[in-house]
Amino acid sequence: MNTYYFDYASTTPVDSLVVDKMKECLSVDGAFGNSGSRSHVFGWKAEELVEEARVNVANLINCDSREIIWTSGATESDNLAIKGAAYFYSDKGKHIITSKIEHKAVLDVCRQLESESYEVTYLEPNNDGIITPESVEAALREDTVLVSLMHINNEIGVINDIEAIGKIVKQNGSIFHVDAAQSAGKIPIDIENLEVDLMSFSAHKIYGPKGIGALYVRRKPRVRLQPLFHGGGQERGIRAGTLPTHQIVGMGEAFKLAKEKMSEDFKNLFKYRDILWNGLKDMEEVYINGAIDSAFPGIFNMSFNFVEGESLIMALKNIAVSSGSACTSASLEPSYVLRALGRKDELAHSSIRFSFGRFTKEQEVKETVELVKDSVNKLREISPLWEMYQDGVDLDKIEWA
């Protein structure tokens, strides 16, 4: 049996159309030049391709291409956005708002800023995993310089209402940063309709190469950032470093394809999630983590109570998925995202994230339904918790050793 890949939220394969474009930018007969070389045709050619890619990225979110800054990926974009704005506007205040279920690339940056005398408020999501506009409003202060929230959550797929939140943040005069690593190219984003000042993107989550990303930086009104990398003055001095033409061209092509294929991709993701959920929902003690109605269908996180997630992944050896179980993490802590939903820790240990994508096939999902059922049943047969549950024991009333 082949191994089926259901971990698209982690990374995606590069689309072959993207690979073809990238190949043209590497060797001696291709556009290998340094886009910063102004004195010859090799540099001009590279610059042309870089700018074409910039337009492709801008088109996906309906912004001006001059508002796109190339970075090495969403982690760097998050760093540049949060530190860059916090440092530049430190005279205005040193309070930052984010949430407990952000990606580590945001949380760890905030932790760092806390050690540099910034104050950070970490918002709690509601039980569905959503950060409500009301909770943002309640946390805003006069000295709030920045609000950083994600668009689609990478673990549970829920979508934050960045349109409503943006309005509230703008009223307060604070800067709004959105991590769109999981949403760009998957659901529509129109910057014209959003009060968003900074937005992070990654190429490899949407069939582009790893190692390249971008940051949207609003021009009107202009948002200023203190650079993190200093050097040759590339990207208008905001991010120095020779531009990796092949990576940039790959990201541009991937974003262009994403725009063309978005509605078709989305329809398929919806279908796959429904096949999976309809096939599994009648099992006993199965839970959805997050809200199925308001979530992105490409990410589906569920818990099979009384079965530990890592053992389920091991049993599903021909299926590539990820888990919020402690045992799959280096820290031995269960997912902080799932814990923040207010669920019991054991449901985090029992969680599995399925994430589908452009190359997923319906038949693979159908087979997976049967494999998951079979594996969960087998693991429950050897689970003492399942045995107690079947005996009618209330597990919450037991004093565990």
Partner 1 sequence: MAYSQKVVDKFEQTLKNPEGASVGRWKPGDKDFHRVGTGIVGAPACGDVMKLQIKCENIDGTNKIVDAKFKTYGCGSAIASSGELIDMLKGKTLEEAQSISNQEIVDILELPAIKIHCSVLAEEAIHRAIDDFKSRRNND
Q: What is the largest CA-CA distance in the chain?
A: 80
Q: Which of 15, 102, 235, 308 binds partner 1 (CB under 8 A)?
A: 308
* Residue position matching structure tokens 């045995």: 387
Mention every residue, 6+ apart, whose C-beta is less than 8 A from residue 29.
Answer: none
Min dist CB 401 to partner 1, Å, is 5
Strands 119-123 and 68-71 turn out to be unpaired
CA 225-226-229 angle, to 5 degrees, is 115
397 part of the interface to partner 1, by CB under 8 A: no
How many DSSP H helices and E strands does the chain contain?
Answer: 12, 13
Q: Which of 72, 148, 311, 360 binds partner 1 (CB under 8 A)?
A: 311
Min dist CB 333 to partner 1, Å, is 10
Nearer to partner 1, 44 or 336 (CB): 336
Nearer to partner 1, 144 or 375 (CB): 375
Q: Which of 381, 392, 394, 397 binds partner 1 (CB under 8 A)?
A: 381
| Helix, strand, coil in percent for the chain, rounding step 5 | 45, 15, 40
Active centre residues (catalytic): 327
**Phi, psi (rounded to 5 degrees) for 145:** -90, -30
Q: Coil, strand, or helix at residue 152? A: strand
Contact 208, 71 (CB under 8 A): no
384 part of the interface to partner 1, by CB under 8 A: yes
91 part of the interface to partner 1, by CB under 8 A: no
Question: What is the DSSP annotation of 2-38?
Answer: PPEE-BTTT--PPPHHHHHHHHTTTSTTSS-S-TT--
Nearer to partner 1, 8 or 306 (CB): 306
Nearer to partner 1, 41 or 332 (CB): 332
**Phi, psi (rounded to 5 degrees) for 29:** -95, 10
Min dist CB 327 to partner 1, Å, is 4
163 part of the interface to partner 1, by CB under 8 A: no
Of 22-30, 156-164, 213-221, 319-327, the segment contacting partner 1 by CB under 8 A is 319-327
Mention every residue, 6+ apart, whose C-beta is less than 8 A from residue 12.
Answer: 204, 205, 206, 207, 357, 358
Of 30-38, 43-51, 99-107, 325-333, the segment contacting partner 1 by CB under 8 A is 325-333
345 part of the interface to partner 1, by CB under 8 A: yes
Q: Which of 19, 288, 315, 369 binds partner 1 (CB under 8 A)?
A: 315
Token readout for 280 is 């599994």
Token readout for 78 is 């998050």
Min dist CB 393 to partner 1, Å, is 11
The DSSP call for residue 91 is T
Q: Which of 75, 182, 202, 383 binds partner 1 (CB under 8 A)?
A: 383
Of 24-32, 73-81, 235-243, 381-389, the segment contacting partner 1 by CB under 8 A is 381-389
289 part of the interface to partner 1, by CB under 8 A: no
Q: Which of 302, 307, 338, 352 binds partner 1 (CB under 8 A)?
A: 307
Length, in residues, of the chain: 401
Of 62-70, 88-96, 104-112, 330-338, the segment contacting partner 1 by CB under 8 A is 330-338
Nearer to partner 1, 339 or 366 (CB): 339
Q: Look at residues 15, 49, 3, 23 and name the one whose alpha carbon lies nearest to residue 204.
A: 15
As a whole number of angstroms, the distance between CA 141 and CA 144 comes to 5
Min dist CB 352 to partner 1, Å, is 13
Strands 213-217 and 319-320 turn out to be unpaired
Q: Which of 26, 138, 382, 393 binds partner 1 (CB under 8 A)?
A: 382
Q: Which of 27, 38, 260, 400 binds partner 1 (CB under 8 A)?
A: 400
Could you list the residues that contact partner 1 (CB under 8 A)? 306-308, 310-311, 314-315, 325-327, 330, 332, 334, 344-346, 349, 375, 378-379, 381-387, 395, 400-401
